[in-house]
Amino acid sequence: MQNQGLGSWIHRQRIKSGSRTALVFRDQATSYAELDDRINSLAAALRAAGVRQGTRVAFLGDNHPSFLETFFAAGSLGAVFVPLNTRLAPPEIQFALQDSGSTVLVNTLALDELAVRGSRGTGVELRLLVDDGTGAVRAEDPEGRVQPYEPAFEAPSGFADAPVSLEDAAIILYTSGTTGQPKGALLTHANLAWNCFNVLVDYDVAENDIALMISPLFHVASLDMGVLPNLLKGATVILETRFEPGRTLELIEKYRATYISGVPTTYQLLCEHPDWDKRDISSLRKLTCGGSAVPLRVIDAYEERGLSFSGGYGMTETAPGATALPPLFSREKAGSAGAPHFFTSVRVARLDGSDADPGEVGEVQISGPNVIKSYWNRPDATEAAFVDGHWFRSGDMGYFDADGFLFISDRLKDMIISGGENIYPAEVEQIISELDAVSGVAVIGVADEKWGEVPKALVTLRDGFTLEPAEVAAHLDGRLARYKIPKTVEIVSDFPRTASGKIRKADLKRQYAG
Protein backbone atom coordinates (compact mmCIF):
# COMPACT_ATOMS: atom_id res chain seq x y z
CA MET A 1 0.00 0.00 0.00
CA GLN A 2 1.34 3.43 -0.99
CA ASN A 3 -0.59 5.39 1.64
CA GLN A 4 1.28 5.28 4.94
CA GLY A 5 -0.80 8.06 6.48
CA LEU A 6 -3.89 8.11 8.67
CA GLY A 7 -6.14 8.11 5.62
CA SER A 8 -5.39 4.41 5.26
CA TRP A 9 -6.18 3.44 8.85
CA ILE A 10 -9.85 2.48 8.44
CA HIS A 11 -9.07 0.58 5.24
CA ARG A 12 -6.32 -1.34 7.06
CA GLN A 13 -8.58 -1.93 10.05
CA ARG A 14 -11.32 -3.33 7.82
CA ILE A 15 -9.29 -6.50 7.23
CA LYS A 16 -9.02 -7.18 10.96
CA SER A 17 -12.25 -5.68 12.30
CA GLY A 18 -14.62 -5.29 9.34
CA SER A 19 -17.72 -6.55 11.16
CA ARG A 20 -16.96 -4.77 14.44
CA THR A 21 -18.73 -1.51 15.28
CA ALA A 22 -16.56 1.50 14.56
CA LEU A 23 -19.00 4.36 15.24
CA VAL A 24 -22.31 4.84 17.00
CA PHE A 25 -24.27 8.03 16.41
CA ARG A 26 -27.85 8.54 17.58
CA ASP A 27 -28.17 4.77 18.11
CA GLN A 28 -27.06 4.08 14.53
CA ALA A 29 -24.08 1.71 14.43
CA THR A 30 -21.55 1.76 11.58
CA SER A 31 -19.12 -1.13 11.15
CA TYR A 32 -15.50 -0.69 10.09
CA ALA A 33 -16.38 -2.14 6.67
CA GLU A 34 -19.30 0.27 6.24
CA LEU A 35 -17.20 3.21 7.38
CA ASP A 36 -14.46 2.26 4.94
CA ASP A 37 -17.02 2.13 2.09
CA ARG A 38 -18.30 5.59 2.95
CA ILE A 39 -14.80 7.03 3.20
CA ASN A 40 -13.84 5.57 -0.17
CA SER A 41 -16.97 6.91 -1.86
CA LEU A 42 -16.51 10.38 -0.38
CA ALA A 43 -12.85 10.36 -1.46
CA ALA A 44 -13.92 9.53 -5.01
CA ALA A 45 -16.42 12.42 -4.98
CA LEU A 46 -13.78 14.82 -3.65
CA ARG A 47 -11.30 13.65 -6.26
CA ALA A 48 -13.89 14.23 -8.98
CA ALA A 49 -14.30 17.77 -7.59
CA GLY A 50 -10.59 18.41 -8.05
CA VAL A 51 -9.21 17.55 -4.61
CA ARG A 52 -5.62 16.38 -4.90
CA GLN A 53 -2.58 15.93 -2.69
CA GLY A 54 -2.11 19.10 -0.65
CA THR A 55 -5.62 20.48 -1.28
CA ARG A 56 -7.12 21.92 1.90
CA VAL A 57 -10.54 20.56 2.84
CA ALA A 58 -12.32 22.36 5.69
CA PHE A 59 -15.08 21.10 7.99
CA LEU A 60 -17.56 23.09 10.07
CA GLY A 61 -19.96 21.21 12.32
CA ASP A 62 -20.59 19.67 15.70
CA ASN A 63 -19.61 16.06 16.39
CA HIS A 64 -21.02 13.96 13.54
CA PRO A 65 -19.84 10.95 11.51
CA SER A 66 -19.27 13.26 8.54
CA PHE A 67 -16.40 14.89 10.45
CA LEU A 68 -14.47 11.61 10.55
CA GLU A 69 -15.53 10.57 7.06
CA THR A 70 -14.16 13.84 5.69
CA PHE A 71 -10.98 13.58 7.75
CA PHE A 72 -10.17 10.08 6.51
CA ALA A 73 -11.32 10.74 2.93
CA ALA A 74 -9.06 13.79 2.73
CA GLY A 75 -6.21 11.75 4.19
CA SER A 76 -6.69 8.96 1.68
CA LEU A 77 -6.13 11.51 -1.11
CA GLY A 78 -3.21 13.23 0.59
CA ALA A 79 -5.33 16.34 1.12
CA VAL A 80 -5.06 18.46 4.28
CA PHE A 81 -7.98 18.57 6.71
CA VAL A 82 -8.95 21.92 8.31
CA PRO A 83 -11.48 21.57 11.15
CA LEU A 84 -13.12 24.84 12.19
CA ASN A 85 -14.22 25.83 15.67
CA THR A 86 -18.02 26.07 15.66
CA ARG A 87 -17.95 28.95 18.14
CA LEU A 88 -16.09 31.29 15.83
CA ALA A 89 -17.75 34.36 14.36
CA PRO A 90 -18.08 34.69 10.56
CA PRO A 91 -14.97 36.93 10.19
CA GLU A 92 -12.93 34.35 12.14
CA ILE A 93 -14.18 31.53 9.92
CA GLN A 94 -13.35 33.71 6.93
CA PHE A 95 -9.80 34.23 8.17
CA ALA A 96 -9.18 30.50 8.70
CA LEU A 97 -10.53 29.59 5.26
CA GLN A 98 -8.50 32.28 3.51
CA ASP A 99 -5.34 31.69 5.51
CA SER A 100 -5.43 27.94 4.91
CA GLY A 101 -6.41 28.33 1.26
CA SER A 102 -9.27 25.85 1.66
CA THR A 103 -11.16 25.24 -1.58
CA VAL A 104 -13.71 22.74 -0.21
CA LEU A 105 -15.91 23.22 2.86
CA VAL A 106 -18.04 20.46 4.34
CA ASN A 107 -20.57 21.79 6.85
CA THR A 108 -23.59 20.54 8.76
CA LEU A 109 -27.02 22.00 8.16
CA ALA A 110 -27.25 23.33 11.73
CA LEU A 111 -24.33 25.67 10.97
CA ASP A 112 -25.19 26.49 7.37
CA GLU A 113 -25.81 30.19 8.00
CA LEU A 114 -22.38 30.49 9.64
CA ALA A 115 -20.80 28.53 6.78
CA VAL A 116 -22.38 30.77 4.14
CA ARG A 117 -21.37 33.99 5.86
CA GLY A 118 -17.94 32.73 6.86
CA SER A 119 -17.02 31.40 3.42
CA ARG A 120 -18.24 34.43 1.47
CA GLY A 121 -15.45 35.94 -0.60
CA THR A 122 -12.95 33.20 0.29
CA GLY A 123 -11.34 30.65 -2.00
CA VAL A 124 -13.99 28.02 -1.25
CA GLU A 125 -15.24 26.66 -4.57
CA LEU A 126 -17.44 23.81 -3.30
CA ARG A 127 -19.55 23.37 -0.19
CA LEU A 128 -20.91 19.94 0.73
CA LEU A 129 -23.97 20.29 2.97
CA VAL A 130 -24.55 17.54 5.55
CA ASP A 131 -28.13 16.92 6.66
CA ASP A 132 -27.43 16.39 10.36
CA GLY A 133 -31.05 15.67 11.27
CA THR A 134 -31.47 18.88 13.25
CA GLY A 135 -34.28 20.16 11.08
CA ALA A 136 -32.37 23.35 10.43
CA VAL A 137 -33.17 25.38 7.32
CA ARG A 138 -30.66 25.69 4.52
CA ALA A 139 -29.23 29.17 4.14
CA GLU A 140 -29.11 30.93 0.81
CA ASP A 141 -25.66 30.76 -0.78
CA PRO A 142 -25.51 33.55 -3.38
CA GLU A 143 -22.31 32.09 -4.82
CA GLY A 144 -24.11 28.84 -5.67
CA ARG A 145 -21.34 26.53 -4.43
CA VAL A 146 -23.45 24.14 -2.38
CA GLN A 147 -24.11 20.46 -3.09
CA PRO A 148 -25.74 17.84 -0.84
CA TYR A 149 -23.30 15.56 0.99
CA GLU A 150 -25.12 12.20 0.86
CA PRO A 151 -25.15 11.64 -2.95
CA ALA A 152 -21.40 11.13 -2.68
CA PHE A 153 -22.11 7.68 -1.25
CA GLU A 154 -24.42 6.43 -3.99
CA ALA A 155 -21.59 5.06 -6.13
CA PRO A 156 -19.27 2.55 -4.42
CA SER A 157 -15.57 3.09 -4.93
CA GLY A 158 -12.31 1.38 -4.04
CA PHE A 159 -9.70 2.83 -1.72
CA ALA A 160 -7.89 5.87 -3.11
CA ASP A 161 -4.35 4.67 -2.49
CA ALA A 162 -2.50 7.97 -2.94
CA PRO A 163 1.23 8.04 -2.16
CA VAL A 164 1.11 9.66 1.29
CA SER A 165 4.08 9.56 3.66
CA LEU A 166 4.04 10.04 7.42
CA GLU A 167 5.88 13.35 7.00
CA ASP A 168 3.14 14.81 4.78
CA ALA A 169 0.75 17.43 6.18
CA ALA A 170 -2.42 15.91 7.64
CA ILE A 171 -4.29 18.69 9.42
CA ILE A 172 -4.20 22.43 10.11
CA LEU A 173 -5.58 23.44 13.49
CA TYR A 174 -6.02 27.11 14.30
CA THR A 175 -4.91 28.20 17.75
CA SER A 176 -7.01 30.63 19.72
CA GLY A 177 -4.90 33.65 18.85
CA THR A 178 -4.80 35.52 22.15
CA THR A 179 -2.58 38.14 20.51
CA GLY A 180 -3.00 39.05 16.87
CA GLN A 181 -4.41 36.61 14.32
CA PRO A 182 -4.69 32.87 15.04
CA LYS A 183 -1.88 30.62 13.82
CA GLY A 184 -2.45 27.40 11.92
CA ALA A 185 -0.57 24.55 13.59
CA LEU A 186 0.46 22.18 10.80
CA LEU A 187 0.38 18.59 12.08
CA THR A 188 1.76 15.79 9.95
CA HIS A 189 0.52 12.21 9.78
CA ALA A 190 3.56 11.31 11.90
CA ASN A 191 2.65 13.87 14.58
CA LEU A 192 -0.84 12.41 14.92
CA ALA A 193 0.36 8.81 14.75
CA TRP A 194 3.06 9.22 17.39
CA ASN A 195 0.60 10.89 19.73
CA CYS A 196 -1.67 7.87 19.27
CA PHE A 197 1.25 5.58 20.14
CA ASN A 198 1.79 7.59 23.32
CA VAL A 199 -1.89 7.16 24.21
CA LEU A 200 -1.77 3.41 23.56
CA VAL A 201 1.23 3.04 25.87
CA ASP A 202 0.23 5.40 28.67
CA TYR A 203 -3.57 4.94 28.70
CA ASP A 204 -3.72 1.27 27.67
CA VAL A 205 -6.42 1.53 24.96
CA ALA A 206 -7.85 -1.89 24.01
CA GLU A 207 -9.94 -3.20 21.13
CA ASN A 208 -12.85 -3.91 23.47
CA ASP A 209 -13.03 -0.29 24.64
CA ILE A 210 -16.17 1.74 24.05
CA ALA A 211 -15.19 5.41 23.94
CA LEU A 212 -17.89 8.03 24.51
CA MET A 213 -16.73 11.26 22.87
CA ILE A 214 -18.47 14.26 24.43
CA SER A 215 -15.88 16.94 23.62
CA PRO A 216 -15.72 18.75 20.25
CA LEU A 217 -13.77 16.85 17.60
CA PHE A 218 -12.42 20.09 16.15
CA HIS A 219 -10.13 20.18 19.20
CA VAL A 220 -7.12 17.93 18.77
CA ALA A 221 -7.50 16.56 22.31
CA SER A 222 -10.82 14.91 21.48
CA LEU A 223 -9.66 13.76 18.06
CA ASP A 224 -6.15 12.52 18.83
CA MET A 225 -6.41 11.53 22.48
CA GLY A 226 -9.78 9.84 22.09
CA VAL A 227 -11.10 8.98 18.64
CA LEU A 228 -7.99 8.10 16.66
CA PRO A 229 -6.28 5.85 19.25
CA ASN A 230 -9.52 3.91 19.73
CA LEU A 231 -10.07 3.46 15.99
CA LEU A 232 -6.42 2.45 15.62
CA LYS A 233 -7.10 -0.38 18.08
CA GLY A 234 -10.38 -1.43 16.44
CA ALA A 235 -12.48 -0.19 19.38
CA THR A 236 -15.92 1.47 19.24
CA VAL A 237 -16.43 5.25 19.30
CA ILE A 238 -19.75 6.75 20.33
CA LEU A 239 -20.16 10.27 18.99
CA GLU A 240 -22.28 12.69 20.98
CA THR A 241 -23.13 16.02 19.34
CA ARG A 242 -22.32 18.02 22.43
CA PHE A 243 -21.85 17.58 26.16
CA GLU A 244 -24.89 17.44 28.45
CA PRO A 245 -24.26 15.88 31.90
CA GLY A 246 -27.50 13.96 32.34
CA ARG A 247 -27.43 12.53 28.84
CA THR A 248 -23.76 11.59 29.22
CA LEU A 249 -24.54 9.55 32.34
CA GLU A 250 -27.43 7.93 30.47
CA LEU A 251 -25.20 6.97 27.52
CA ILE A 252 -22.48 5.54 29.77
CA GLU A 253 -25.06 3.22 31.31
CA LYS A 254 -26.78 2.39 28.01
CA TYR A 255 -23.67 1.51 26.00
CA ARG A 256 -21.50 0.30 28.89
CA ALA A 257 -18.92 2.92 27.93
CA THR A 258 -15.39 2.24 29.17
CA TYR A 259 -13.65 5.47 28.12
CA ILE A 260 -14.52 9.16 28.41
CA SER A 261 -12.41 12.30 28.27
CA GLY A 262 -12.93 15.90 29.23
CA VAL A 263 -11.75 18.83 31.31
CA PRO A 264 -12.23 19.22 35.10
CA THR A 265 -15.48 21.13 34.54
CA THR A 266 -16.86 18.16 32.59
CA TYR A 267 -16.26 15.78 35.45
CA GLN A 268 -17.49 18.23 38.06
CA LEU A 269 -20.79 18.70 36.23
CA LEU A 270 -21.22 14.93 35.96
CA CYS A 271 -20.69 14.19 39.66
CA GLU A 272 -22.91 17.11 40.70
CA HIS A 273 -25.79 16.05 38.45
CA PRO A 274 -28.90 14.66 40.19
CA ASP A 275 -28.54 11.39 38.25
CA TRP A 276 -24.96 10.78 39.42
CA ASP A 277 -26.00 8.22 42.05
CA LYS A 278 -28.82 6.78 39.97
CA ARG A 279 -26.89 5.69 36.88
CA ASP A 280 -24.76 2.56 36.55
CA ILE A 281 -21.33 3.76 35.44
CA SER A 282 -19.43 0.69 36.62
CA SER A 283 -18.28 -0.06 33.04
CA LEU A 284 -15.93 2.95 33.05
CA ARG A 285 -12.25 2.07 33.14
CA LYS A 286 -10.50 5.09 31.65
CA LEU A 287 -11.21 8.73 32.50
CA THR A 288 -8.76 11.09 30.84
CA CYS A 289 -8.65 14.74 31.81
CA GLY A 290 -6.68 17.74 30.61
CA GLY A 291 -6.78 21.51 30.73
CA SER A 292 -5.99 21.89 34.43
CA ALA A 293 -5.68 19.88 37.63
CA VAL A 294 -8.77 18.07 38.95
CA PRO A 295 -10.01 19.48 42.30
CA LEU A 296 -9.66 17.04 45.20
CA ARG A 297 -13.42 17.29 45.84
CA VAL A 298 -14.07 15.89 42.36
CA ILE A 299 -11.38 13.21 42.77
CA ASP A 300 -13.13 12.14 45.99
CA ALA A 301 -16.51 11.84 44.25
CA TYR A 302 -15.12 9.52 41.58
CA GLU A 303 -12.99 7.46 43.95
CA GLU A 304 -16.12 6.79 46.00
CA ARG A 305 -17.40 4.98 42.90
CA GLY A 306 -14.13 3.16 42.30
CA LEU A 307 -12.90 5.46 39.52
CA SER A 308 -9.59 7.27 39.05
CA PHE A 309 -8.37 9.84 36.56
CA SER A 310 -5.58 9.78 34.01
CA GLY A 311 -4.51 13.40 33.87
CA GLY A 312 -2.35 15.04 31.28
CA TYR A 313 -0.91 18.18 29.79
CA GLY A 314 -0.34 19.29 26.25
CA MET A 315 -1.36 21.68 23.51
CA THR A 316 -2.35 21.78 19.86
CA GLU A 317 1.28 21.97 18.78
CA THR A 318 2.11 18.66 20.50
CA ALA A 319 -0.82 16.84 18.88
CA PRO A 320 -1.66 17.33 21.86
CA GLY A 321 -0.06 15.11 24.52
CA ALA A 322 3.13 16.07 26.35
CA THR A 323 2.69 14.43 29.76
CA ALA A 324 0.42 11.86 31.40
CA LEU A 325 -0.50 11.26 35.04
CA PRO A 326 -1.51 7.61 35.59
CA PRO A 327 -4.46 6.86 37.91
CA LEU A 328 -2.01 5.31 40.38
CA PHE A 329 -0.68 8.81 41.11
CA SER A 330 -3.90 10.83 40.87
CA ARG A 331 -3.99 11.43 44.62
CA GLU A 332 -0.31 11.07 45.54
CA LYS A 333 0.62 13.61 42.85
CA ALA A 334 -2.59 15.64 42.96
CA GLY A 335 -2.11 18.83 40.99
CA SER A 336 0.61 17.36 38.79
CA ALA A 337 0.41 17.18 35.00
CA GLY A 338 2.27 13.86 35.14
CA ALA A 339 5.46 12.52 33.63
CA PRO A 340 6.49 12.91 29.97
CA HIS A 341 4.66 10.67 27.49
CA PHE A 342 6.63 7.59 26.52
CA PHE A 343 7.88 8.89 23.15
CA THR A 344 8.07 12.57 24.14
CA SER A 345 10.71 14.60 25.97
CA VAL A 346 9.90 17.50 28.29
CA ARG A 347 12.22 19.89 30.07
CA VAL A 348 11.91 23.01 32.24
CA ALA A 349 14.29 25.79 31.16
CA ARG A 350 15.57 28.90 32.84
CA LEU A 351 15.56 32.23 31.01
CA ASP A 352 19.18 31.64 29.98
CA GLY A 353 18.22 28.33 28.35
CA SER A 354 19.80 26.04 30.95
CA ASP A 355 17.86 23.24 32.63
CA ALA A 356 16.08 24.25 35.83
CA ASP A 357 16.63 22.28 39.01
CA PRO A 358 13.81 20.19 40.57
CA GLY A 359 11.35 22.55 42.23
CA GLU A 360 12.59 25.55 40.23
CA VAL A 361 10.01 27.24 38.00
CA GLY A 362 10.91 27.79 34.36
CA GLU A 363 9.41 27.52 30.89
CA VAL A 364 8.11 24.09 29.87
CA GLN A 365 9.59 22.98 26.55
CA ILE A 366 8.73 19.85 24.56
CA SER A 367 10.34 17.81 21.81
CA GLY A 368 9.45 14.56 20.11
CA PRO A 369 7.86 13.08 16.98
CA ASN A 370 4.43 14.37 18.03
CA VAL A 371 5.56 18.03 18.02
CA ILE A 372 4.84 20.23 15.00
CA LYS A 373 7.69 21.32 12.78
CA SER A 374 6.02 24.51 11.65
CA TYR A 375 3.02 26.79 11.59
CA TRP A 376 1.16 27.16 8.31
CA ASN A 377 2.73 29.95 6.25
CA ARG A 378 4.21 31.57 9.39
CA PRO A 379 8.00 31.17 9.30
CA ASP A 380 8.37 34.01 11.82
CA ALA A 381 6.09 32.30 14.33
CA THR A 382 7.80 28.97 13.69
CA GLU A 383 11.24 30.40 14.38
CA ALA A 384 10.05 32.11 17.57
CA ALA A 385 8.37 28.93 18.83
CA PHE A 386 11.52 26.80 18.97
CA VAL A 387 14.77 26.86 20.89
CA ASP A 388 17.68 25.64 18.78
CA GLY A 389 15.11 24.45 16.24
CA HIS A 390 14.41 21.51 18.56
CA TRP A 391 12.58 22.41 21.77
CA PHE A 392 9.06 23.80 21.37
CA ARG A 393 8.39 26.71 23.71
CA SER A 394 5.04 26.08 25.39
CA GLY A 395 4.70 29.51 26.96
CA ASP A 396 3.75 27.69 30.19
CA MET A 397 5.68 27.98 33.42
CA GLY A 398 6.21 24.92 35.56
CA TYR A 399 8.62 22.74 37.51
CA PHE A 400 9.56 19.11 38.00
CA ASP A 401 9.44 17.60 41.46
CA ALA A 402 12.18 15.29 42.72
CA ASP A 403 10.38 12.26 41.22
CA GLY A 404 10.22 13.71 37.69
CA PHE A 405 6.54 14.74 37.73
CA LEU A 406 5.66 18.03 36.08
CA PHE A 407 3.62 20.73 37.82
CA ILE A 408 2.27 23.61 35.73
CA SER A 409 2.48 26.93 37.53
CA ASP A 410 0.60 28.91 34.90
CA ARG A 411 0.68 30.39 31.46
CA LEU A 412 3.60 32.79 31.14
CA LYS A 413 1.18 35.38 29.79
CA ASP A 414 -1.20 34.88 32.77
CA MET A 415 1.51 35.35 35.38
CA ILE A 416 0.82 38.30 37.71
CA ILE A 417 3.78 40.46 38.78
CA SER A 418 2.90 42.21 42.02
CA GLY A 419 5.55 44.40 43.58
CA GLY A 420 8.23 42.45 41.74
CA GLU A 421 6.89 39.09 42.95
CA ASN A 422 5.65 36.49 40.48
CA ILE A 423 2.17 35.07 41.18
CA TYR A 424 0.92 32.05 39.24
CA PRO A 425 -2.92 32.12 39.20
CA ALA A 426 -3.26 28.34 38.80
CA GLU A 427 -1.65 27.82 42.22
CA VAL A 428 -4.17 30.16 43.87
CA GLU A 429 -7.11 28.75 41.90
CA GLN A 430 -6.30 25.19 42.95
CA ILE A 431 -6.63 26.04 46.65
CA ILE A 432 -9.75 28.21 46.26
CA SER A 433 -11.45 25.36 44.34
CA GLU A 434 -11.23 23.22 47.49
CA LEU A 435 -14.04 25.27 49.06
CA ASP A 436 -17.32 23.34 48.89
CA ALA A 437 -19.24 26.37 47.67
CA VAL A 438 -16.99 26.97 44.67
CA SER A 439 -17.91 25.51 41.27
CA GLY A 440 -15.36 27.52 39.29
CA VAL A 441 -12.61 30.07 39.86
CA ALA A 442 -10.37 32.32 37.81
CA VAL A 443 -7.66 34.56 39.23
CA ILE A 444 -6.51 37.53 37.16
CA GLY A 445 -4.26 40.54 37.71
CA VAL A 446 -5.84 43.97 38.16
CA ALA A 447 -4.12 47.33 38.20
CA ASP A 448 -2.93 48.67 41.55
CA GLU A 449 -1.25 52.04 42.19
CA LYS A 450 1.11 50.70 44.84
CA TRP A 451 2.02 47.21 43.60
CA GLY A 452 1.52 47.56 39.82
CA GLU A 453 -1.04 44.79 39.82
CA VAL A 454 -2.65 42.53 42.42
CA PRO A 455 -4.64 39.30 42.14
CA LYS A 456 -8.43 39.33 41.90
CA ALA A 457 -10.52 36.13 42.23
CA LEU A 458 -13.66 35.61 40.19
CA VAL A 459 -15.77 32.77 41.56
CA THR A 460 -18.87 30.88 40.48
CA LEU A 461 -20.93 29.03 43.11
CA ARG A 462 -22.61 25.65 43.27
CA ASP A 463 -26.41 25.69 43.44
CA GLY A 464 -27.68 26.37 46.94
CA PHE A 465 -24.35 27.66 48.28
CA THR A 466 -23.25 31.12 49.39
CA LEU A 467 -19.75 32.46 49.95
CA GLU A 468 -18.37 35.59 51.59
CA PRO A 469 -15.09 37.07 50.26
CA ALA A 470 -13.66 36.87 53.77
CA GLU A 471 -14.08 33.07 53.70
CA VAL A 472 -11.80 32.88 50.65
CA ALA A 473 -9.11 34.95 52.35
CA ALA A 474 -9.40 32.86 55.52
CA HIS A 475 -9.05 29.64 53.52
CA LEU A 476 -5.87 30.90 51.87
CA ASP A 477 -4.34 32.50 54.96
CA GLY A 478 -1.31 30.54 56.10
CA ARG A 479 -1.28 28.41 52.95
CA LEU A 480 -0.03 31.06 50.54
CA ALA A 481 2.23 34.07 50.85
CA ARG A 482 0.20 37.17 51.64
CA TYR A 483 1.03 38.80 48.30
CA LYS A 484 -0.57 35.82 46.49
CA ILE A 485 -3.92 36.12 48.29
CA PRO A 486 -6.50 37.95 46.10
CA LYS A 487 -7.15 41.47 47.28
CA THR A 488 -10.72 41.26 45.99
CA VAL A 489 -13.15 38.39 45.42
CA GLU A 490 -16.16 38.78 43.17
CA ILE A 491 -18.98 36.27 42.70
CA VAL A 492 -19.97 35.94 39.03
CA SER A 493 -22.73 33.95 37.34
CA ASP A 494 -20.56 32.28 34.72
CA PHE A 495 -17.28 32.41 32.83
CA PRO A 496 -16.64 32.89 29.11
CA ARG A 497 -15.27 29.55 27.95
CA THR A 498 -13.74 27.94 24.90
CA ALA A 499 -15.55 25.04 23.21
CA SER A 500 -13.42 22.61 25.23
CA GLY A 501 -14.50 24.21 28.52
CA LYS A 502 -11.40 26.27 29.32
CA ILE A 503 -11.97 29.69 30.85
CA ARG A 504 -11.13 32.58 28.54
CA LYS A 505 -8.79 34.59 30.77
CA ALA A 506 -8.25 37.25 28.12
CA ASP A 507 -11.99 38.03 28.10
CA LEU A 508 -12.06 38.24 31.90
CA LYS A 509 -9.10 40.60 31.93
CA ARG A 510 -10.80 42.91 29.44
CA GLN A 511 -13.96 42.93 31.55
CA TYR A 512 -12.58 43.07 35.08
CA ALA A 513 -8.95 44.18 35.04
CA GLY A 514 -9.80 47.81 34.49
Alpha carbon distances (Å) from 6 to 15, 16, 150, 251: 16, 16, 23, 28
Q: Are strands 56-60 and 104-108 parallel, antiparallel or unpaired?
A: parallel
Q: What is the pLDDT of residue 295?
A: 78
φ/ψ of 85, rounded to 5, equals: -65, 125
Q: List domains and CATH numbers for the chain.
A: 6-10+41-165 (3.40.50.980), 415-512 (3.30.300.30)
Q: What is the pLDDT of residue 452?
A: 78
* Rounded (5°) CA angle 188-192-194: 110
* Spacing of C-alpha 272 from chain mean position: 23
Picking from 33-37, 41-45, 57-61, 292-296, which range would have the lowest pLDDT averaged per residue?
A: 292-296
Question: Which ranges of 295-446 would DSSP assign to H, the alpha helix?
Answer: 296-303, 379-385, 425-432
Closest among 504, 496, 61, 89 to 242, alpha carbons compared: 61
Checking if the pLDDT of 461 tops 80, the result is yes
Distance CA 52, CA 135 (A): 33
Picking from 146-160, 218-232, 339-353, which range would have the lowest pLDDT averaged per residue?
A: 146-160
Of all residues in the chain, the percent with pLDDT exceeding 90 is 76
The pTM for the full model equals 0.85
Reported as a single tens digit per residue, the pLDDT across 254-285 is 999 999 998 887 898 999 999 999 999 999 99
In this structure, the dihedral spanned by the alpha carbons of residues 341, 342, 345 and 347, taken in order and rounded to 10 degrees, is 50
More confident call, 404 vs 157: 404
> Residue 176: pLDDT band by 50, 70, 90 thresholds?
low
Distance CA 44, CA 42 (A): 5
Residue 71: partners with Cβ closer than 8 Å, 6 or more residues away: 6, 59, 81, 83, 171, 223
Checking if the pLDDT of 177 tops 80, the result is no
Average pLDDT in the chain: 92
> Residue 178: pLDDT band by 50, 70, 90 thresholds?
very low
